[in-house]
Amino acid sequence: MRVVVPFAAETPKTRLESVLSPAERSAFARAMLADVLRAIVRAGHEPAVVSTAPLDLAALETPGEVAAAASLTVDDRPLTEAVNARLPTDDGADPVAVVMADLALATPDALEALTTAAADVAIAPGRGGGTNALVVDHPAFRVDYHGLSYLDHRGIAREIGATLETVDSFRLGSDIDEPADLVEVLVHGRESDRAPAVLREFGFELERRDGRVAAVRDGGPTA
Ligand SMILES: Nc1nc2c(ncn2[C@@H]2O[C@H](COP(=O)(O)OP(=O)(O)OP(=O)(O)O)[C@@H](O)[C@H]2O)c(=O)[nH]1
Ligand SMILES: C[C@H](OP(=O)(O)O)C(=O)O
């Protein structure tokens, strides 16, 4: 299945600005992208990165065959427009998946649950009501991202008479947006993933305190 991976390449992850410098945010966003692309390729799909600016996929620290299987298109339109330009328009067209580049915990198995859902539209919502990943197999469905897009997308599916399945997935539901989310990367990231390795290179580590865990750096709390 063709899997569109939108990527904001220029000033990514601004909500992490209290804990990461611009250069670190850029490196961390690319590390998460590398992990997402690897999970998609290992699940047997072809990632099509849609980036707001040119990007060297071969420079991502990911196995060569992953970079080779991925394609890149530069499209500087806003997210919703860039994605809608790539959704199926004809009956009988192949389904298209859209997987965000900040799903650092994504695994092939989690993606499999999404791509095998038997509905016109399958959505893996994020905590807080975003649409972290979806599959569209209906010619009239169009996305409208930001805000409570999961509920908006349910409404759009209802309006056009499309069947919808919600995919209940911790790994696809965890988009990494805010400092507190870094804990999830350090706890649940896998040994071979780039994103937790990059955070550790930056000096982040887990610290247990009063029954909860925080991601701390250089001894001080950040999340
Ligand atoms: N192609 C494209 N991708 C985008 C755009 N905005 C966000 N993305 C990507 O869409 C996904 C979800 O992005 P968000 O978490 O909403 O935004 P972000 O830029 O990553 O982070 P913030 O700056 O903290 O909002 C990520 O994979 C982004 O890289 C855009 O305008 N165009
Ligand atoms: C892409 C967008 O992300 P958010 O702005 O909720 O992080 C959404 O899921 O609608």
Residues 158-214 have pLDDT tens digits of 999 999 999 999 999 999 999 999 999 999 999 999 999 999 999 999 999 888 899
The residue among 18, 30, 28, 26 whose CA lies nearest residue 223 is: 18
Minimum CA distance residue for ligand 2 atom 2: 146
Per CATH, the homologous superfamily of domain 2-177 is Spore Coat Polysaccharide Biosynthesis Protein SpsA; Chain A (3.90.550.10)
Q: Cα–chain-centroid distance for residue 177? A: 10
Residue nearest to atom 16 of ligand 1 (CA): 146
pLDDT at site 176: 98
Q: What is the predicted pLDDT for the residue at 209?
A: 83
Distance 102 CA to ligand 2 centre (A): 11
- pLDDT tens profile 3-12: 999 999 999 9
pLDDT tens-digit map of 138-152:
999 999 999 899 999
By C-alpha distance, which of 51, 34, 7 is closest to 195? 34
Task: Name the band, by pLDDT with cuts 50, 70 and 90, for residue 220.
Answer: low
Question: Are residues 176 and 32 in contact, defined by beta-carbon separation less than 8 angstroms?
Answer: yes
ipTM for this prediction: 0.95
pLDDT tens per residue, range 63-88: 889 999 999 999 999 999 999 999 99
Rounded Cα distance between 185 and 104, Å, is 7
Which residues have any ligand 1 atom within 6 Å of their CB? 6-8, 12-15, 50, 52, 75, 78-79, 82, 100-102, 177
Residue 149: C-alpha distances to residues 5, 12, 47, 111, 156 (Å): 17, 20, 23, 20, 10
Q: How confident is the model at residue 219 (pLDDT cuts 50, 70, 90)?
A: low
Q: What percent of the chain has pLDDT over 70?
A: 98
CB-based contacts of 174: which residues, under 8 Å, 6+ apart?
103, 104, 105, 126, 127, 132, 181, 184, 188
Q: For position 221, what pLDDT does the model report?
A: 60
- Tell me, in angstroms, the distance from the centre of ligand 2 to residue 184's CA: 18
Dihedral, 94, 35, 49, 176 alpha carbons, nearest 10: 100
What is the residue-averaged pLDDT of the chain? 95
pLDDT at residue 63 in the model: 87
The reported pLDDT for the residue numbered 218 is 80
Domain layout of the chain by residue ranges: 2-177
